[in-house]
Structure 1
Amino acid sequence: MSVREQIDRYIGDQSPAKREELRDLHRRILEISPDAKLWFLDGRNDNGKVVSNPNIGYGSETLSYAAGGSRAFYKIGLSANTSGISVYVMGLKDKKYLSETYGSRLGKAKITGYCIRFRSVKDVDLGVLEEVVADALGRRSAGASS
Structure 2
Amino acid sequence: MHILHELILKIMPDAQLWFLDGKNNEGKIISNPNIGYGLLNLHYTGGKTKAFYQIGMSANTGGISLYIMGIKDKAYLAQTFARQLGKANVSGYCIHFKSLKDLNMTVLEEIIRFGSGPK
Instruction: Please say if 1:97 is aligned against 2:70.
Output: no
What amino acid maps onto 1:130 in structure 2? E
Which segments of structure 1 move beyond 2 Å, counting only runs of 4 or more?
Answer: none
Residue in structure 2 matched with residue 74 of structure 1 by the alignment: 53
Distance, in Å, in 1 between the alignment partners of 2:34 and 2:73 is: 23
Distance, in Å, in 2 between the alignment partners of 1:112 and 1:75 is: 16
Q: Which runs of 5+ in 1 are unaligned?
A: 1-21
How far 1:136 moved relative to its partner?
Answer: 1.4
Residue in structure 1 matched with residue 26 of structure 2 by the alignment: 47
Secondary structure of 1:25's aligned partner:
helix
Residue in structure 2 matched with residue 108 of structure 1 by the alignment: 87
Residue in structure 1 matched with residue 40 of structure 2 by the alignment: 61
Percent identical residues: 55
How far 1:26 moved relative to its partner?
Answer: 0.2
Q: Which runs of 5+ in 2 are unaligned?
A: none
Q: Deviations over 1:6-38 (max 9, x none)?
A: xxxxxxxxxxxxxxxx00000010001100111
Which structure: greater helix fraction? 1
Which structure: greater strand fraction? 2
How far 1:68 moved relative to its partner?
Answer: 2.2
Could you tell me which of 54, 67, 71 is aligned with 1:88?
Answer: 67
Could you tell me which of 8, 13, 25 is aligned with 2:4?
Answer: 25
TM-score, with length taken from structure 2: 0.96
What amino acid maps onto 2:109 in structure 1? E
Q: Deviations over 1:87-125 (max 9, x none)?
A: 000010000010011111100100110000001111111
What amino acid maps onto 2:59 in structure 1? A
Distance, in Å, in 2 between the alignment partners of 1:64 and 1:24 is: 31
Distance, in Å, in 1 between the alignment partners of 2:9 and 2:91 is: 24
Equivalent residue pairs, number: 119
Distance, in Å, in 2 between the alignment partners of 1:71 and 1:115 is: 19
Report the structure number with the largest CA radius of gyration: 1
Secondary structure of 2:28's aligned partner:
coil
Secondary structure of 1:130's aligned partner:
helix
